[in-house]
Structure 1
Amino acid sequence: MKLNQSLFLSFMTVFQWTVHVGSEDTPTLGSRNIPRLLSQDVIKGTFSYPVHQNHTILFYHEDSGEIYVGGTDFVYKLDLDRYQISEEIHLNATREEPCFEVPCKNVITVIEKFGDSLFVCGTNGLRPHCWKLSADETKEQEGTGISPFTHTQNSLYLRVEGDLYAAAPLDYDGSALQFRREEGRRANVWMYDTWVSEPTFVSAAWVKRQNDPDNEKIYIFFREKNSDQNPEADPWISQVARVCKTDEGGSKRFFQNTWTSFLKARLVCGFPEESLYFNRLQDVYVQNAEDWRDTRVYALFTSSWNATAVCIYSIQTIEDIFNNSTFKGYDKAVPEPRPGTCVRNSRALPLATIRVVRDYPEMSDWVHSVHYTAPFYVSNNNYTKIVVDRVQAADQRMYSVLLLATDSGKIHKVLESGSEPFIISQTQIPSQSNLQSMKLDSQKKKLVVSFAEKIYVVDLQSCNESNKSCADCVLARDPYCSWTKSGCSPTVPDGIQNIVDGKTSVCAASTSDYNTVNRTRRNAASRLDIDSTQLAVPMDVPFYLSCPIDSYHAVYTWRHRDERSPCLQMSSSCLLLIPAMTPDSYGSYECISEERDYVNMVKQYHLTEREDRRAKANRGKASAVAAQTLGITVGLALFLN
């Protein structure tokens, strides 16, 4: 018996090390703050680059559904149906004098569509340049202020009808960074020097107003240096600014070619009652709505304590701040028209209105999220990118699904249903480099993710991993998937779903024999759909049983006779360890998962005693071999799945 105890201690030491190694990036069971599934079968195609890219951008044209990728000296048009490159455009650096770079490269930083033309800009060997490409001709122009000088410098761009808005350095050293209207039908307009302090521009968005186009705004999201010198204050704060689409700058005497409508307000995300905020804006996705008031801003923030958060804002709330807040530092009567008001002729605005914009552009009130008291979602994952899809479920209601990505290529699919996030799944892109860009093709329900070596296409409607039963499909709460006669499939109007709370009673209501099947799965060992295994095991040896994890939101237990034992998690399996087989160890073992209103027998074992002459004579030797084998083979714990 001493030998068995020694072997078991060795067995447990090796097992604990194995569990630690195997579960380094594996969710812990039973928590709602982790992904329900670890998705595997979702990458449907890849595009490999000829050489690794230091920088890539993705451009998706919503009207045509076309998607382009720009890298060093090239632009590719991607065919997401055939998973191939359908068009190649090569744009090498073109300049007469020598480059400071060796070799002289043109890193593409801007791709846009203007009618039938493709507008492309790049670093062009530290001399930004743009090309307007059409079927008939190629037009070239100087690109300073549209493209940065190097791909590492901060920049952004936005097309609004026939105009191009951009933020890019005006000097080689990356300075003189401001948001400007650079190209198009309207006059070029730029910012006043004192409006921002060391900004990092994150995103810009145009919010349409179908019945009131003269009041349409361009919103700019950025972070800048905090003017608060308190040592406890975060050195950076996040801001939202706006300018009017109709703004043509001031008169020739005052503020010519300078925004007359620029206003900014602090964008806050955190816990106001504790004065705890996520101050560093990382990425923004604006989800437009038919009524502009319903447009929502999904903003991704990081903090000084290495956590990330998603806060959701209403454009209506942002507008209320700009329309009603006092101007920070300004204590006189507010002139008419109110500073920031959109007018048809900005050049005719009175000087009093423009002076307030020039000297006091910041609002006193802060912009809070729709949930106000807390972020919508807080995580220890270092997310860097966010996109949001609108999905029509089987109940004909629309749901928002957040797709959050880390630098390492971990992607979380998160359902927004009410005020609580539900983390549907986690996908790990198999890349050794950092994520560079991410775009959503909402029409095809595909996510395009770019790394240094290749592009991956993720199928958001992959439902195979919830295909075991109606209950499994419903518990996923995935608006992209519903239960049909063909199993868990892309959502159709008559599919079975329960996105709101995931309760599986909808299966019983739609499947006549559901209750009978569910009872049978729990209580009958002889059914063919129960994974049942017969094993003959020698007496006295340490032994373990393994059960596959179908959902990380479920709680798993082992049942043997009248006793229940907790699951020991190792990677994607639940284990039950038996220190040494005794007469009481034999019989039936059931692995039970419980999630919401669903109880399921995942796996069943029948253990019987194996007694032969050789095993009896060498029982101690068999014990040593059993323990040693488990320690050497880390993956052995999965062989019974």
Structure 2
Amino acid sequence: MLKWLAISLISNNISFPKFAGESNHSTEDIDGTGISPHTCLQNSLSLVADGDLYAAAPLYDDGTLLQFRRKYGQRTSVWMYDQWVSEPTFISSFLAKRNNDPLNEKIYVLFREKNSDMSPEADPWISRVARVCKVDEGGPKQLLQNIWTSFLKARLVCGIPSESLYFNRLQDIFIQHADDWRNSRVYALFSSSWNSTAVCIYSLADLDVVFEHSSFKGYSGAIPTPRPGTCVKKSNSIPISTLQIIKDHPEMRDWIHPIQKDTPFFTSNKNFTKIAVDRVQASDDNMHNVLLLATDNGAILKILEDGSKAFIISETHLHNGSAPVHSMKLDSEKRKLFVGYPGQISMLDLQRCQNYNASCEECVLSRDPYCAWTEQGCTSQTRGGIQNIADGLTEVCHQKPGGRFRREVQEVQTVPLRIQLSVPTGVPFYLSCPVDSHHADYKWEHKQKSIPCQKTPSECLLLIPAMTDDMYGSYKCTSNELDYARTVKEYNLFNNNFRSDSNDAQMLRVQGWLIGAFVSSAFYLRTL
């Protein structure tokens, strides 16, 4: 809604300031049709690249003629041939800069559209990536005048090909630009017809291999020169034979596969709606990618890209109650994430190192590239700090930082006090301890016996149906994660010979229940 309002205020007459020096400027009013949607519910996107405005918005009030256009700027306005896409939902677009080859710079457009395969087992939607040349100004009068002469599209695949299982519905993307455009990466978020979501990662070089070398779907003739999709400085001079293929057969026969071809990088039964990716230099001086995923109930997951594996660092709820995330903007320089909810904008500090401040081990186990253990505790001042992003093993906490200045790590006392509870014989009872890491295994120990947890999302519970003599004594709740074991909570249950049916016993039972219930519910969770 906020995004649309910002645009809709200027939907009929849009003013673009043209600055001349620093003291004065002039404005030019232009028609906003095809740039701004007519209502906040209509799909749209916009991109400003090298002084030109590209947009996708319905041309008419009823939402029809939704297509990607260059609408305003230094170059000629061009648009799509209306047979190229079917009921599209445009997701995002970006310019891939080629500093040494500006003629071949491309605009990439990611969208989903109606699947032409009408078979019952086929998903009704399919995801695409299209590209056009930045220098494209349309064809000659005979064919594709003021229409893209370089438009090509290909299917974007995310799934498990060996099982013919695909996530077909593109929801959001994040482009991570590199100095060499070929090393740029597209992080794409998909959903499926069975209510699961997935993240797949694509190399821009791999995208271009398909566009440059694949045959054209539905076309079996000789491929003319220049090849359809080639960037030509004067696009109105492209031969008709090349333009005819662009007009009639713009789809590539080959599919675009992610870097990890056999399976998505990350899958979940949560319904994710937005994605952003930060690049962080950790205390080991290596660069690490951190994915930020928003769910439809308002949670933000922070995930470490560990090669081909995903490691969930944390889950955070910024909104009181359940609310979908409508927009998300990353400020990488300030390490902040701005999240738009219905009627609210929240800011998430990505350097929440205080949540791992209990000990060096807790800080290291987090594997959070924003944080490291120092003399001040777990802090965002990572240079010279102790951390182990590679595998999270805590043995580094007991080693001197080689090659750095010597210091003694002052550990915070992590052994909990034993809680004394008087419990009458025969009453039901339960104990609880907080689950602050879902990467750890929790259990109870009593009289040298191990008892599994009754787990909730935030607690490890021990349920005692009725107290008997052999159930009194010490109970320890322990956690084990990688090479680190600790006692989270310890109770001692004893019997003062109260009768279970007396008022005093009933009061003790209630008091015990209150003590045992929902301890440390405000703990920040490191979540699976």
Give the TM-score, by structure 1 length: 0.75
Cα pair 2:442 2:460 within 8 Å, conserved: yes
Cα pair 1:415 1:422 within 8 Å, conserved: yes
In 1, Cα distance between equivalents of 2:385 and 2:155 = 44
Q: Is 1:266 the counterpart of 2:155 in the alignment? A: yes
Q: Secondary structure at the match of 2:399?
A: helix
Amino acid at match of 2:2: T
Cα pair 1:542 1:626 within 8 Å, conserved: no
Amino acid at match of 2:107: I
2:526 alignment counterpart: none
Of the candidates 415, 418, 421, which is equivalent to residue 530 of structure 1? 415
1:175 alignment counterpart: 64
Q: Is 1:470 the counterpart of 2:470 in the alignment? A: no
Q: Is 1:132 the counterpart of 2:8 in the alignment? A: no
Deviations 1:434-488 (A, max 9, x none): 3221111111111101122221011011111111111111111111111111111
In 1, Cα distance between equivalents of 2:239 and 2:63 = 35
After the TM superposition, which residues 7-406 of structure 1 pair with which residues of structure 2 at under 5 Å, given as runs? Answer: 55-57=1-3, 107-108=5-6, 121-122=7-8, 128-133=12-17, 136-406=25-295
Q: Secondary structure at the match of 1:355?
A: helix
Amino acid at match of 2:393: K
Q: Which has the higher contact order (CA 8 A, sep 6+)?
A: 1
Distance 1:167 1:350, change over 3 A: same
Amino acid at match of 2:77: N
Deviations 1:316-361 (A, max 9, x none): 1110000110011111110011110112221221111111111111
What is the deviation of 1:538?
4.2
Distance 1:496 1:191, change over 3 A: same
Aligned residues: 510
Q: Is 1:424 the counterpart of 2:301 in the alignment? A: no
**Range 487-496 or range 334-343, more displaced:** 487-496
Amino acid at match of 1:402: L
Deviations 1:239-281 (A, max 9, x none): 1000011111112443221111110001111111111111111
Q: Is 1:600 the counterpart of 2:486 in the alignment? A: yes
Cα pair 2:428 2:464 within 8 Å, conserved: yes
What is the deviation of 1:302?
0.9
Amino acid at match of 1:285: F
Q: Secondary structure at the match of 1:531?
A: coil
In 1, Cα distance between equivalents of 2:34 and 2:457 = 50
Deviations 1:47-82 (A, max 9, x none): xxxxxxxx023xxxxxxxxxxxxx6xxxxxxxxxxx
Cα pair 2:454 2:462 within 8 Å, conserved: yes
1:636 alignment counterpart: 517
1:590 alignment counterpart: 476
What is the deviation of 1:399?
1.2
In 1, Cα distance between equivalents of 2:67 and 2:235 = 20
Cα pair 1:202 1:284 within 8 Å, conserved: yes
In 1, Cα distance between equivalents of 2:237 and 2:103 = 16
Distance 1:406 1:609, change over 3 A: same
Amino acid at match of 2:340: S
Cα pair 1:122 1:129 within 8 Å, conserved: no
After the TM superposition, which residues 384-533 of structure 1 pair with which residues of structure 2 at under 5 Å, given as runs? Answer: 384-431=273-320, 433-510=323-400, 529-533=414-418
2:405 alignment counterpart: none
Deviations 1:142-163 (A, max 9, x none): 1001111111111101111111
What is the deviation of 1:181?
0.6
Q: Secondary structure at the match of 1:558?
A: strand
Amino acid at match of 1:169: P
Q: Secondary structure at the match of 1:535?
A: strand
In 2, Cα distance between equivalents of 1:270 and 1:485 = 45
Q: Secondary structure at the match of 2:417?
A: strand
Cα pair 1:56 1:450 within 8 Å, conserved: no
**Structure 1 portions without partners, runs of 5+:** 1-54, 58-70, 72-106, 109-120, 522-526
In 2, Cα distance between equivalents of 1:138 and 1:459 = 38
Amino acid at match of 1:638: V
1:34 alignment counterpart: none
In 2, Cα distance between equivalents of 1:182 and 1:238 = 24
Q: Percent identity?
A: 53
Distance 1:539 1:369, change over 3 A: same
Deviations 1:550-580 (A, max 9, x none): 2111111112221111122245222223344
What is the deviation of 1:622?
4.2
Q: Secondary structure at the match of 1:381?
A: coil
Q: Secondary structure at the match of 2:363?
A: helix
Distance 1:123 1:329, change over 3 A: farther
Amino acid at match of 2:519: L
Give the TM-score, by structure 2 length: 0.90
In 1, Cα distance between equivalents of 2:144 and 2:33 = 22
2:462 alignment counterpart: 576
In 1, Cα distance between equivalents of 2:125 and 2:336 = 35
Q: Alignment RMSD, CA only?
A: 2.6
Cα pair 1:589 1:606 within 8 Å, conserved: yes
Deviations 1:271-330 (A, max 9, x none): 111111111111111111111111111111111111111111111111000011001111
In 1, Cα distance between equivalents of 2:180 and 2:409 = 47
Cα pair 2:432 2:517 within 8 Å, conserved: no
**Range 205-214 or range 439-448, more displaced:** 205-214
Distance 1:278 1:367, change over 3 A: same
In 2, Cα distance between equivalents of 1:511 and 1:188 = 60
Deviations 1:110-146 (A, max 9, x none): xxxxxxxxxxx3266xx64323357755543210011
Distance 1:539 1:230, change over 3 A: closer
Distance 1:329 1:347, change over 3 A: same
**Structure 2 portions without partners, runs of 5+:** 403-407, 524-528
